[in-house]
Structure 1
């Protein structure tokens, strides 16, 4: 999806979508339903990471000083599915053991997304054909799981809810593991643990988080496997000094940038907070889309 044709299609779809969104924006504002604040830094950090990474996903373009926001920045499936997880959890924490309740919210998110092609082929087939989980070992469940950390009341509940949110699609060991590792990382950050403490905990229980930044820059390629991308994203968040450094490192490493930066941004938002230089342009972009700003 990194081709010139894809970029042109993004712009065409965006222009066609804009008038409807502007009308919805005016209606929502008039009705007092405009939502422009986010309860948790982790949630907003994940969304900002998605917006920043969306311009560079899969491109052979890596750098430490790349622009964070471009004309191609847009909310991808990560943002819509994060919102769906949040909506599912805010509706009820009593889910069927097979995660069907989460699955319905994820299908709704897909059908209401501005850019359906941002979703993977297997997810699209799952959503459109109403099939069962497809044993995915990708990073999709990990990138949508952050809201679990804000609803769970214990580490055990974090892991249980992360598994439920994952296995309606990603019912493989690696798919669930990635979701649990991310959810626990965000939860620990929310509880006030340091980046070093989180890194040690995840290294002990999930993945060894020991990388060299230059090696990643030179060797890391595009992959959507949870086992490959999730630990890198957590490592980025836990080895930086602030939110800006997290985003810069993600673009320097490259690959599946929207997903990696969304995961890293969820953890970094709780660890470091979010500077205005990121929150203001992100709000501006999100006002062009309906995912957070219109209706219920």
Structure 2
């Protein structure tokens, strides 16, 4: 979970100022957490406290109303509606990492990922993006190799994971759809050598940098374990007390191989 938050914060500077290189500063005075972090913590809150996803999502939106939400998500949260709006956006995938960490069989992971997505993202692509992301996290936790993960995702979600980052990077543009960002985020993980390299891969392709790095970061944490100490220490500094406490609680329960420093 902290890996997803780290990806969001590191990528936040580059969302509207894309870089196409891996050699960039990880942090600056403009780094911040965004809606990706807020909604990831909301999903974690639901899991820890056995609350409905829709209730925590709406609650956290109102706690952090200026975190940078998309137009339709903001409109939905400001209304009294509890009906989903058929979104295929990558918001379902960026908030789902706690599901991949918390549940201990693949069937439950897929069910819970769908439940966390469909409160807003009930389009098949929105559900698919959340399920694929959570599934990758779960598969890394049970020791599957990158080749095994790639094969499972391609077979079960029909994502093309055969492109290389070198092929993606030159022409990739801002794309907020699940189908246009989740496969790329997974490839950023598959080509990585460690956690930091995964985040650098994610930012270096451009596009919706904070969300791609958030998705990649959650997966990379599950695969590589504890975040590098210098990254983890910095990330805690960006979170307020409420987000920090909930993240610590979740990680203490479900991410014991990850940095709590």
Q: TM-score, normalised by structure 2?
A: 0.89
The residue correspondences of 1:130-279 to structure 2 (distance < 5 A) are: 130-131=80-81, 132-206=83-157, 207-273=159-225, 274-279=227-232
Instruction: Determine if contact 1:50/1:79 at 8 Å carries over to the other structure.
Output: yes
Distance 1:64 1:71 in 2: 19
Equivalent residue in structure 1 for 2:12, among 38, 44, 54: 54
Instruction: Determine if contact 2:88/2:123 at 8 Å carries over to the other structure.
Output: yes
Distance 1:48 1:289 in 2: 16
Structure whose alpha-carbon radius of gyration is higher: 1
Aligned to 1:90: 48
Q: Which runs of 5 or more residues in structure 1 are unaligned?
A: 1-42, 94-100
Check 1:60–1:271 CA distance in 2 against 1; reply closer, same or farther (3 A cut).
closer
- Find the residue that maps to 2:20 and give its secondary structure: coil
Distance 1:215 1:109 in 2: 38
Equivalent residue in structure 2 for 1:69, among 6, 24, 27: 27
Q: TM-score, normalised by structure 1?
A: 0.79
Which digits, 9 at most, give the CA deviation of each residue in 1:176-227, with x for residues without a partner? 0000000100011111212222112111111121112222221000010000
Aligned to 1:122: 72
Which digits, 9 at most, give the CA deviation of each residue in 1:258-292, with x for residues without a partner? 10000000110011121112111112222x56422
Distance 2:169 2:241 in 1: 32
Instruction: Determine if contact 1:195/1:239 at 8 Å carries over to the other structure.
Output: no
Q: Which runs of 5 or more residues in structure 2 are unaligned?
A: 250-261
Which stretch shifts more, 62-71 or 45-54? 62-71
Distance 1:201 1:165 in 2: 21
Please tell me the root mean square deviation across aligned C-alpha atoms, in Å: 1.8
